[in-house]
Structure 1
Amino acid sequence: MSTVPHQPGLTPRFCFNQTALRDFLRLSRSATDDSIAQNLNNLVAPGTSTVFSPASTSSRLPRPDAQRGIESAACSAFKDRVLFPAWQSRSDVLSYCASVATSEDPSDPNLIVRQQEDARARKRVVNERLDPYSGRYFPREARTEVLAALLRNENMVENIVRARTWRVIGERCDNGGHEWEDALDSWNRHMNGNRP
């Protein structure tokens, strides 16, 4: 089982560094969600279900549904120790960066350049009869706007990845018939109730 990356220090600088933010999300997803089938296969102890016999390899039959599952204790331990902490770590990063994206950014390095470009655009004389493209002006986006767009995309990806992972877990383990959101909320309530 691959190791889940630790949550980075949450600072505005981390959020505005798109490479670091995307790398953390990518590595965390690849360690848990993208390799969910392998992670679940690691929970099954080989050779514990039946005694090996050479005759068992002569034909291929699908396993009965009762044998496809993984022990509920192993599944619960995986969800509680690996899956939900990874999901919560990514949720914390996305939530923090969303708050950064909606806050004022007085240290934006492109603020002065954008203000100058806006002033020049307002002073420009536009005659679309002579030049149909003279009316075009595409202002630069503030880095908070760029971050907000990135976070919208990453939240959509996160929802898709979690739904797929939860579906695979439901096929191999007992997920209690809950949606992944409910299971994560329940785990959070349980973890917060056990903290000193």
Structure 2
Amino acid sequence: MANPTSTEAPVLTPQFCFNEKLLQDFLRLSRSSIDDSITQNLNALVMPSRQGFDPSSTAVRQTDSRGQKVIDPNACQGFKENVLFPSWQARSDVLNYCAGVATSPDPEDPDLILRQTESARDRERVVDERLDPYSARFFPKEARTESLANLVRNQRTVEEIIRARTWGLVSERCGGSSSSWEDALNDWRKKHQR
């Protein structure tokens, strides 16, 4: 089973968010330790030694995934409460914080003066598109807050997809839960006052 300490969120600062590689690495590592290896994490919860060895289990090849044993409900609940939901919450906290940073003014933007200069030059430019049809193109450099906002938006979409897939597997292996992953996570948040 994955180590719950691997889901701890980093210290949240604007510098962390603006370092997009560091932000993406945290999200990628968190997802790979829990969500990408969900089948292995769930298989680790099965305790076949408690039931004893059944010699007839080796007589037929088990290729049907529905033949997998349902995991002990207490083990499943413990996994969800102590590993899965804390991991999801840590990633949600990081994305929410960085979304706030992306929508705040950025007085320390290193490219602010360059963008302002380019913008002033662009306003003064006289374009004769008959001579050069491409001269009207102007690609202003994106502010780092805009870049961060796009990254956060994309990562939230990725989170939705990954969580839906993970929750489907957890529901299948742990005995079908009728609630969605959003409802289950919100219930966990209420219990843990997050």
Which 4+ runs in 1 deviate beyond 6 A?
Answer: 62-67
Deviations 1:16-73, CA, capped at 9 Å, x for gaps: 00011000000000011000000000001133234342x4322235789696210110
**How do 1:1-196 and structure 2 match up within 5 A?**
1-3=1-3, 4-53=6-55, 55-60=56-61, 68-192=69-193
Report the residue type matching 2:150 in the other structure.
Answer: A
* In 1, Cα distance between equivalents of 2:22 and 2:119: 31
How far off is 1:124 after superposition?
Answer: 1.1
How far off is 1:181 after superposition?
Answer: 0.2
Q: What percentage of aligned pairs have identical amino acids?
A: 56
Change (3 A) 1:150 1:132: same
Report if aligned partners of 1:7, 1:89 keep a CA contact under 8 Å in 2.
yes
CA root-mean-square deviation: 1.9
How far off is 1:130 after superposition?
Answer: 1.1
Report the residue type matching 1:2 in the other structure.
Answer: A
Query: After alignment, is 164-173 or 61-70 more displaced?
Result: 61-70
Change (3 A) 1:142 1:149: same
Report the residue type matching 1:133 in the other structure.
Answer: Y
Gaps of 5+ in 1: none
TM-score computed with the length of structure 2 as normaliser: 0.93
* In 2, Cα distance between equivalents of 1:109 and 1:62: 57
Report if aligned partners of 2:2, 2:83 keep a CA contact under 8 Å in 1.
no
How far off is 1:133 after superposition?
Answer: 1.1
Report if aligned partners of 2:18, 2:148 keep a CA contact under 8 Å in 1.
yes
Report if aligned partners of 1:5, 1:24 keep a CA contact under 8 Å in 2.
no
Change (3 A) 1:77 1:117: same
* In 1, Cα distance between equivalents of 2:90 and 2:167: 17
TM-score computed with the length of structure 1 as normaliser: 0.92
* In 2, Cα distance between equivalents of 1:63 and 1:12: 48
Report the residue type matching 1:51 in the other structure.
Answer: F
Say how many residue pairs are matched. Answer: 192
Report if aligned partners of 2:7, 2:86 keep a CA contact under 8 Å in 1.
no
How far off is 1:134 after superposition?
Answer: 1.2
Report if aligned partners of 2:16, 2:22 keep a CA contact under 8 Å in 1.
yes
